[in-house]
Structure 1
């Protein structure tokens, strides 16, 4: 059993969040909730909120896009795709990359080898079942670690696998011991752990850790069924029972992956398993972008990930995956910083460069373009004024009201935002001949 990295709660751990907040306030430094790049809630950092935190000194990102992400129905990455994505992950500072499962196919095995050979500045892991042949294939690719899966919920073992429970335990003990003996780091991955009985799960994990070997254990919520208020107790129970580093693996079937991951980290989980844009089986995996950004801006935990690469990395992965996302998707949505509402446009205009007043974080923090004022049914006079100003057109208050009415009507009819040509047509109707001599200058918003 691995015992050199015990993560039991200490007073030092409990005070990490408070200490970070105090340090940020010293020497005129910015508050942790309000910096030049973001403005979140000061309530997040109150001692009454953070006093029971057990934040780890460092949080690592273990990306599973190339394995679990590819399990999303219809997503098929080529070897070249996987290498490009791995390079993008490494450029963003991801600490560990799960390159794939060599046992799946010769193509998957070749992709893992290619990623290892690329010499990226990240630890490369493979995924395997707790079977010796799987582990041998992973070992042969040159990876430094292996994530080893086995069903942990007795219901799943008997119903879905049609195994006896003892078989799952024996395979786990044999395979983890073999992997460790051959120099691989072992991340034990108990499938469906959150649907297993607590006593049964802890006893089984102890047995594998004692008779086999684990360097870390995954808190695996395979079906996304654990509630946020339960996660803290779940983490503490496993942590206190095993005394080894814990890794999170939450799914999004109920949309709770990010919340559950944040709570798990606050209670000492040291590694979080995520995918780019949250792609993955069924409703997907915990998305890296929201999780890393929330840790940094709401918990004072800087993972070292280059958040400014999020937008481009997500576009790369989604393009290669052939997957679309909502345009207003948090962090990476292409229209996330488009402003149609009249009141928000006024806020944005009045705030000038203080973009953390109308937005919780600046677009460049996540690699997004600057805010764009658009025209639609919800727009106000300031939207019209901004567009007119950029076209070099002056108008009275009455004319602007007429133009705004035209904008609202046209947007409602088309159920879409207006483009520049449509706006020019409306303006021309209200102010005939206003574009004479202005040339073909186009609005760049």
Structure 2
């Protein structure tokens, strides 16, 4: 079995006797999913190509040092992604050196690099030690006219030369069109059929400008699935907010690989966020996702990337945003106390969240919440406020809103200059 690939996990869903024909509830009682899946669906058999170190490097605030890249690559590998994609070594001498460095880390994940469909780029990349090359060229009329200026005959000829060379080196190769959803369908299918016959491991669909919607994605992937025998990779930009939905629709239609970046960082509004995709796929098949990825480490990798690019994890971020598991409305709070599944489709414990509003809470758990809220407290101060939480929790368990309020008040007190 190729490095980092894992056997798909089959999952039997227990159906409630009164379940509707639209959906069922699995044995956790918390996950809503279609009763009948598409025969092409790969929702419970997909791989993540994590592109924080390639797409993410195009984020406005990103400037990754070699040390940053090594830390992020190791964190992603610990999380369990199958592939890590890094910036083309043809981009600069530093990018080439960084590529070699990451390839020599001995990670479980396969290391890929993203290159133009050009022999010069391919020759440089194959010498770095990567496991594979992700080759791309623009195919829409916009890019053919205003970017590289080549016609489809040239693209096919160039693709054939580059792919043949990469395969001769025994490396994995993906060939992707760029701006796929604004490309002519006949041109696309002809190109994909050609490269499939050359023996590529994957063909790629890229919503480069974020214009696609889930129905368009499903239709294109399903059509392509009937044309090629290789795997299908999808790359979705988030300019119109559809990246996660588009990724899910692609998997339903038979795509096999999804590109992500941590916190969705990338060109403009970025691409499908790693955490957001995990949240969506957890709901689709919880056990499959939990068996593949160490979800407890999601917060760690997100905090690492956020700190590196000098941004805050958004308050409403999937899973790790500080409001992700808060409930303020009375009717919600009451129901949550009776059964969390009433208003939580994601189970906080599965992502490493520990309740801290009780008398047995530990200061490390409180420290995690302090960091998540973006508060600055020393370890001694965290221990002091933990003692206050314990004293109040002796009287009654505290809700997360009560704990957060206590932490903010304590933080303000600690950071307010004493009056003379």
TM-score, scaled relative to structure 2: 0.77
- Counterparts of 1:367 and 1:32 in 2: how far apart (Å)? 26
- Counterparts of 1:32 and 1:123 in 2: how far apart (Å)? 36
Report whether the alignment pairs 1:344 with 2:336.
no
The aligned runs of 1:233-382 (5 Å cut-off) are: 233-299=219-285, 302-303=288-289, 304-348=292-336, 350-351=337-338, 354-370=339-355
Report whether the alignment pairs 1:40 with 2:31.
yes
User: Does the 8 A contact of 1:273 with 1:286 survive in 2?
Assistant: yes
Deviates more, 1:117-126 or 1:52-61: 52-61
Structure 2 unmatched ranges of 5 or more: 1-7, 17-22, 359-368, 370-387, 397-403, 411-420
What is the SS of the residue equivalent to 2:71?
helix
Partner of residue 116, structure 2: 129
Shift of 1:306: 1.4
- Counterparts of 1:35 and 1:311 in 2: how far apart (Å)? 26
Shift of 1:174: 1.0
- Counterparts of 2:408 and 2:267 in 1: how far apart (Å)? 43
Partner of residue 63, structure 1: 50
Aligned length: 361
Partner of residue 202, structure 1: 189
Partner of residue 85, structure 1: 72
Shift of 1:309: 1.2
For each residue in 1:342-390, what CA deviation from the matched residue of structure 2 results, as whole angstroms up to 9, or x when unmatched?
A: 4433334x33xx433342222232233437699xxxxxxxxxxx98981
- Counterparts of 1:265 and 1:54 in 2: how far apart (Å)? 6
Report whether the alignment pairs 1:20 with 2:11.
yes
Change (3 A) 1:81 1:191: same
Partner of residue 149, structure 1: 136
Which residue of 384, 389, 392 maps to 1:390? 392
Partner of residue 3, structure 1: none
- Counterparts of 2:275 and 2:163 in 1: how far apart (Å)? 32
Partner of residue 207, structure 2: 221
Shift of 1:179: 0.6
For each residue in 1:206-241, what CA deviation from the matched residue of structure 2 results, as whole angstroms up to 9, or x when unmatched?
A: 23334x542210121111111111222111111111
What is the SS of the residue equivalent to 2:226?
helix
Shift of 1:287: 1.0
Change (3 A) 1:391 1:247: closer
Partner of residue 98, structure 1: 85
- Counterparts of 2:182 and 2:324 in 1: how far apart (Å)? 36
Shift of 1:180: 0.8
User: Does the 8 A contact of 2:196 with 2:203 survive in 1?
Assistant: no
- Counterparts of 1:262 and 1:364 in 2: how far apart (Å)? 24
Shift of 1:338: 3.5
Shift of 1:83: 0.7
For each residue in 1:24-76, what CA deviation from the matched residue of structure 2 results, as whole angstroms up to 9, or x when unmatched?
A: 569xxxx984455x7132xx2323xx255533763111101100011111211
- Counterparts of 2:320 and 2:407 in 1: how far apart (Å)? 25
- Counterparts of 2:409 and 2:264 in 1: how far apart (Å)? 37
Which residue of 135, 160, 169 maps to 2:147? 160
For each residue in 1:162-199, what CA deviation from the matched residue of structure 2 results, as whole angstroms up to 9, or x when unmatched?
A: 33443333222211111111111111121111110111
Change (3 A) 1:105 1:25: same
What is the SS of the residue equivalent to 1:302?
helix
Change (3 A) 1:393 1:193: closer
Partner of residue 401, structure 1: none
For each residue in 1:69-120, what CA deviation from the matched residue of structure 2 results, as whole angstroms up to 9, or x when unmatched?
A: 1111121111111110110011011111112211111221111111110101
What is the SS of the residue equivalent to 1:241?
coil
Shift of 1:326: 2.0
Change (3 A) 1:265 1:392: closer
Structure 1 unmatched ranges of 5 or more: 1-15, 375-385, 395-416, 424-445
What is the SS of the residue equivalent to 1:150?
strand
What is the SS of the residue equivalent to 1:168?
helix
